[in-house]
C-alpha cells in the first residue's frame, strides 16, 4: 500500500497499529486546533497518545504521520480508523475552526490522490451518521460521530459536500489529479536544498550554496515553484559538477537554456540571480499564460507555446500530450521529480523556537523599503528612524555585485509581502531590540 506523493515531511508516530485490518474505503477529515506547522504537529504526535495518517500544516505542506497501510489513532473509533485515511488540518484556535486557502487546496488535492490510489471512484457525503460503513452511499465520516467533540469544526463540517464536489471534479478531470503543477508554492526549503546538494556533491562551489535562495525568491515573484527549478538545475548540471554538461558554471546558466543541439554552448547571463530568473521565466512560459512580473530576460521565452506544460511530468516532449516541452529525453519530468523527492525527504532540523515577530530599531532616516527581499526590487520610500516589527525573513541581494544578505518583512507589508528592509548593513543601521 502506497503513501501520497504529495508528502513533503515525514515523522512517523508511535501511536498506530500495523497493519490496518480493513481496506481503505473512507476518508475522515479532522481539525488540528491552531495554525500549526507540520514540524510542530509531528512533534506533538510523538507524545500525544494519538495520531493521524496525514497532517496539513498552515502553509499547505503535507506530512505523513502514519503510513496508509497502518491504522492511526485519530477518530475515537477503532473500526473507523481501520478503514479510513485520517487527515488533520491546521485551523484557527476558535470556532468555527476555519482553515486557510493553502490548507484547503492541499486537502482537496490529497483527498483526490487518496481516492485515486485506493480505487475510490468518488467521495460521497450525506451528513448522515446512520450511514457509517455504508460506503456505497457515504464514504466520509467525522470525529463528532464517535465522540462528543466539535471536530472537524463547523467550518469544515458544513463544507463536506463542497469538499466531495471539488475532489470528484479532480477525479473526473482527465487523470491530472496526481500530477505536479509547476506553478505554486515551493515545498522544499533553502536549508533542504543546501543539505541535498552538499550530500550529493561535497565539492559544490560556495557560489552555488550562496545563490540557492534566489530559486525561492525568484520563483515566489512569478508564482512558480523554485524547488522544481532547483531540482531541474541539479539534473541539467549533474548536481552542479557540470560533468558532461553543455554549459559551465561561469555562464550562470543552470538549466541548459539555449542548448538546442549537440555542441551548442547555450545562453550566458551576467549574474547567478539573472540566470535563475531566466529559468523561472521559462518555466512560467510552460506552466501558464500569466504575464511576467519582472521584465523578460529569457531569450527563448517567445518560442514557448504558453501553458503547454502545466505539470512537471509534461516538461518532457515524449510525455507531453501536445508533443511540446523543455527537453526531448524520455521521462524528463519524472527525473526532476525524483530529485525533488530526495530534496524534500532531507531530514529537517529540530524545530527552533518561534522567532517572529520581533522588533528592530532603525538608526538612520533613509533606509530604503523595497517591494521584495533584495536590492533588485523596486524602492518604496524610506522607513525613517524608529522601531519596526519584523514578521518574516528572507535572503536576497544586498549589492550590485550579487552579495547575499538578510532582509526583514515589515508588519505593514505582511499581507502583500511587499515591504522589506535590509538587516545586513551593520549595527549602525539596524539592531534587534
CATH classification of the domain holding 77: 3.40.80.10
Q: Coil, strand or helix: which one is 151? A: coil
pLDDT at 405: 86
Domain count across the chain: 3
Do 144 and 246 sit in the same domain of this protein? no
State the chain's maximal CA–CA distance in angstroms: 70
316, 362: one domain: no
Position 180 in a domain: no
The range of the structural domain enclosing residue 421 comes to 358-432
Give Cα 427 to chain centroid, integer Å: 34
Please check whether residue 349 lies inside any domain of the structure: no
Q: Is residue 176 part of a domain?
A: no
Q: Looking at residue 310, which CATH number applies to its domain?
A: 1.10.530.10
For residue 112, give the H/E element and its range: helix 101-117
Q: How far is CA 427 from CA 331, 401, 422, in A?
A: 51, 22, 12
CA atoms within 13 A on the CB side of 242: 15
Return the pLDDT at 177: 52
What's the pLDDT at 352?
Answer: 47
Same domain, 166 and 314: no
Is 282 in contact with 260 (CB distance < 8 Å)?
no
Supply the CATH number for residue 419's domain: 2.30.30
Q: Per residue in 171-225, pLDDT tens?
A: 776 555 567 889 988 888 899 999 999 999 999 999 999 999 999 999 999 999 9
Residue 365 confidence (pLDDT) above 60: yes
158: its cell numbers: 458544513
Give the integer Cα–Cα distance in Å for 270 and 315: 26
R_g over Cα of the chain: 23
Cβ-contact 45, 51 below 8 angstroms:
yes
Cα gap 373→420, rounded to integer Å? 6
Residues 162 and 17 in one domain: yes
Please answer whether residues 360 and 390 qualify as being in contact, where contact means their C-beta atoms are separated by less than 8 angstroms.
Answer: yes
Query: In this structure, are 303 and 373 located in the same domain?
Result: no
How would residue 412 be classed by pLDDT, with cut points 50, 70 and 90? very high
This prediction has a pTM of 0.49
Mean pLDDT computed over every residue of the chain: 91
The pLDDT confidence band at residue 262, using thresholds 50, 70 and 90, is low
- Please report whether residue 88 resides in a domain: yes
In a domain, 1, yes or no: no
Residues 74-83: tens digit of each pLDDT: 999 999 999 9
Q: Mark whether 318 and 207 lie in a shared domain.
A: yes
How long a stretch of residues is the chain? 433
Q: Are 142 and 151 in contact (CB under 8 A)?
A: yes
Query: Which residue from 246, 158, 196, 218 is spatially nearest to 377, judged by alpha carbons?
Result: 218
Amino acid at each position: 500500500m502506497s503513501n501520497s506523493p504529495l508528502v513533503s515531511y515525514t515523522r512517523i508516530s508511535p501511536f498506530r497499529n500495523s497493519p490496518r485490518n480493513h481496506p481503505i474505503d473512507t476518508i475522515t477529515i479532522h481539525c488540528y486546533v491552531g495554525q500549526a506547522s507540520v514540524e510542530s504537529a509531528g512533534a506533538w504526535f510523538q507524545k500525544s497518545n494519538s495520531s493521524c495518517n496525514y497532517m496539513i500544516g498552515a502553509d499547505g505542506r503535507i506530512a505523513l504521520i502514519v503510513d496508509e497501510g497502518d491504522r492511526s489513532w485519530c477518530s475515537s473509533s477503532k473500526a473507523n480508523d481501520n478503514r479510513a485515511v485520517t487527515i488533520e488540518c491546521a485551523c484557527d484556535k476558535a470556532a468555527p475552526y476555519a482553515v486557510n486557502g493553502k490548507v484547503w487546496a492541499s486537502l482537496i488535492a490529497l483527498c483526490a490522490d487518496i481516492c485515486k490510489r485506493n480505487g475510490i471512484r468518488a467521495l460521497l457525503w450525506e451528513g448522515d451518521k446512520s450511514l457509517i460503513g455504508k460506503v456505497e452511499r457515504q464514504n466520509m465520516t467525522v470525529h463528532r460521530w464517535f465522540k462528543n467533540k466539535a471536530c472537524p469544526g463547523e467550518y469544515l463540517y458544513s463544507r463536506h459536500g463542497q469538499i466531495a464536489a471539488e475532489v470528484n471534479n479532480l477525479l473526473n478531470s482527465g487523470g491530472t489529479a496526481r500530477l505536479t503543477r509547476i506553478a505554486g508554492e515551493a515545498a522544499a526549503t533553502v536549508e533542504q536544498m543546501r543539505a541535498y546538494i552538499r550530500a550529493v556533491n561535497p565539492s559544490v562551489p560556495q557560489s552555488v550554496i550562496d545563490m540557492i535562495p534566489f530559486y525561492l525568491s525568484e520563483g515566489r515573484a512569478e508564482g512558480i515553484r523554485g524547488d522544481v527549478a532547483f531540482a531541474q538545475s541539479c539534473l541539467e548540471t549533474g548536481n552542479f559538477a557540470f560533468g558532461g554538461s553543455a554549459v559551465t558554471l561561469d555562464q550562470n546558466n543552470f538549466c541548459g537554456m539555449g542548448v538546442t543541439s549537440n555542441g551548442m554552448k547555450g545562453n550566458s547571463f551576467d549574474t547567478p540571480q539573472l540566470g535563475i530568473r531566466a529559468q523561472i521565466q521559462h518555466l512560467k512560459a510552460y506552466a501558464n499564460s500569466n504575464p511576467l512580473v519582472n521584465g523578460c530576460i529569457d531569450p527563448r521565452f517567445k518560442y514557448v507555446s504558453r501553458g503547454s506544460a502545466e505539470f512537471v511530468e509534461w516538461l518532457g516532449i515524449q510525455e507531453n500530450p501536445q508533443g511540446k516541452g523543455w527537453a526531448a529525453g524520455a521521462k524528463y519530468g519524472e527525473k526532476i521529480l525524483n530529485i525533488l523527492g530526495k530534496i524534500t525527504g532531507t531530514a529537517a532540523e529540530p524545530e527552533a523556537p518561534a522567532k517572529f515577530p520581533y522588533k528592530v530599531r532603525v538608526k538612520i532616516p533613509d533606509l530604503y523599503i523595497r517591494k521584495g527581499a533584495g536590492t533588485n526590487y523596486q524602492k518604496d520610500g524610506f522607513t525613517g528612524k524608529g522601531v519596526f516589527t519584523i514578521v518574516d525573513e528572507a535572503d536576497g541581494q544586498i549589492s550590485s555585485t550579487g552579495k547575499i544578505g538578510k532582509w526583514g518583512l515589515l508588519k505593514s507589508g505582511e499581507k502583500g509581502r511587499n515591504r522589506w528592509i535590509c538587516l545586513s548593513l551593520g549595527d549602525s543601521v539596524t539592531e534587534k531590540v
